[in-house]
Structure 1
């Protein structure tokens, strides 16, 4: 622990994943701020060393946090070392004291020169905050496809990750999966299990015919194909034809496909704006790319 010099009661804590009291305090603030926590992920053994909270506490109470997440991507086959900053939050009673600024400056100083890309996602209420730390807004582009055809007979079945055999098979497939996207998170079982045992638990399906897993959701005539895990490149339209419903009018991809034939693109319009550190243009600036949805931390 490090004592913040101008406030002896305030302590900076890091590398405390296995401390139940500090982890519990982080979980409590995360639930209060974002509506989820990391406990099930931790208890299942999926919290990796590369996920590093950086927090301020006073007398055991979590006042603020910003986490760094080291993630490896491939971009058109080239290795990309990245650090994503996430879970930036301050307890309501501690706001206005500069705690988030202190943590952000610390993480930028630590990581900016040690990776190929330092970035974060921000909601619409804090878009003016991150340029103060050298981040700039970069627009992402999603691929979509208007749909009117009838669905084909589907070979995809829901996956039950509480079943040991199904969970082991899924994890092995993720670990050996090849890129299905131009900007692709390199196989990362821990990150994948955060989503697939959490918010996308009901969205995971498997086809023995294609030997592929998909994460797919349907809402109000739109189908989101969030991710595909397979040991070989797949033909997306072949999968989509089995995954759509009679009510599907639009298919949206949660990643940038290797082959975009037939798809249109548009600027991503949601409450998750991408900010990249530094003034130098990157490959993300000039191309219709997006970070895979299941890579957000």
Structure 2
């Protein structure tokens, strides 16, 4: 066994090394898997993994996804980190730190963000990341179901997936305070792992991830060329099978449903920012859940 693991920067072209990366993710993150996402051919040029290899295995890693963020109404290029960690038996040797340093060196001065779990909240401030609060948004709104529900689509179908990615590439952001553009390949990761809400096609230019539970309709995301509150309100009856009394949003609905209010902090978000002033996000914001890596 070598004493100094070798750094490799993996991109979408390194197909022979993708299985080792997928094995690493499965060992470090119990609820994450990249195998099906890779089978769907979703690893695109904007996603890079800074992996430390030892005897053919990835033992530590930090990945980045290039993203087009909307911050305070301005579009900026930033990098979102994910899959940061180390194999359990190799921890305590500074390997995850080395992977982070390599990834940050490639990012340069560009802003960065990440969503961390509770076990590593003390790790990221060492690299200049600062925690930033996120909010939950809800709105009272009674809706009765329509006679016919909107068609439900399956992103496992390559044709559906191609249509979705094309729409996501030109979709308008759902908000202006803290949002993103063209994150279709992040959303497909959630679908590939069974984490995304059902996907409905309202019309060719408007697709909605939504689920109803206990009288609440969660609108996880709206992927639309020209989203509007009027169009969404008219479509709500086609998203449900039973009456609902309230709406919950997986993004900041300040533009799409302005009467929604922050209902409390998102305790599970664990957002950290680097090179971004949290005050630019406003007092309450919610980065789209399907855009989080």
- Give the TM-score, by structure 2 length: 0.85
Aligned pairs (5 A) from 1:6-155: 8-15=3-10, 17-34=12-29, 35-75=31-71, 77-113=73-109, 115=110, 117-155=111-149
* Counterpart Cα distance in 2 of 1:218 and 1:270: 22
Q: Check conservation: 2:200, 2:239, Cα contact below 8 A.
A: no
8 Å contact 1:200–1:215 — kept in the other structure?
no
1:289 aligns with 2:292: no
Question: Which secondary structure does the structure 1 equivalent of 2:173 belong to?
Answer: coil
Mean Cα deviation higher: 128-137 or 212-221: 212-221
TM-score (norm 1): 0.84
- Alpha-carbon distance in 2 for matches of 1:215, 1:155: 14
- Do the aligned partners of residues 283 and 154 (structure 1) sit closer, same or farther apart at CA in structure 2, a change above 3 Å counting? farther
SS of the equivalent of 2:179 reads strand
Distance 1:248 1:24 in 2: 43
Give yes or no for the alignment of 1:172 onto 2:169.
no
Q: Where in structure 2 are the equivalents of 1:140-289 lying within 5 Å?
A: 140-163=134-157, 165-182=159-176, 183-200=178-195, 203-208=198-203, 211-235=205-229, 236-246=232-242, 248-257=244-253, 258-278=255-275, 280-284=277-281, 286-289=282-285
Q: 1:172 to 1:132 in 2, by over 3 A?
A: closer
TM-superposed deviation, 1:293: 0.8
d(CA) in 1 for partners of 2:105, 2:202: 45
- Is this contact kept in 1: 2:64–2:82, CA < 8 A? yes
CA gap of 1:59–1:80, structure 2 versus 1, over 3 A, is: same
The answer to whether the Cα contact below 8 Å between 1:26 and 1:62 also exists between their aligned partners in 2 is: yes
How far the C-alpha of 1:259 sits from its partner, in A, is 4.2
Give me the CA root mean square deviation: 2.7
Distance 2:11 2:226 in 1: 38
**Equivalent pair of 1:148/1:249 in contact (CA under 8 Å):** yes
Q: Distance in 2 between matches of 1:37 and 1:44?
A: 13
Task: Give the aligned length.
Answer: 287
The unaligned stretches of length 5 or more in structure 1 are 1-6
Gaps of 5+ in 2: none
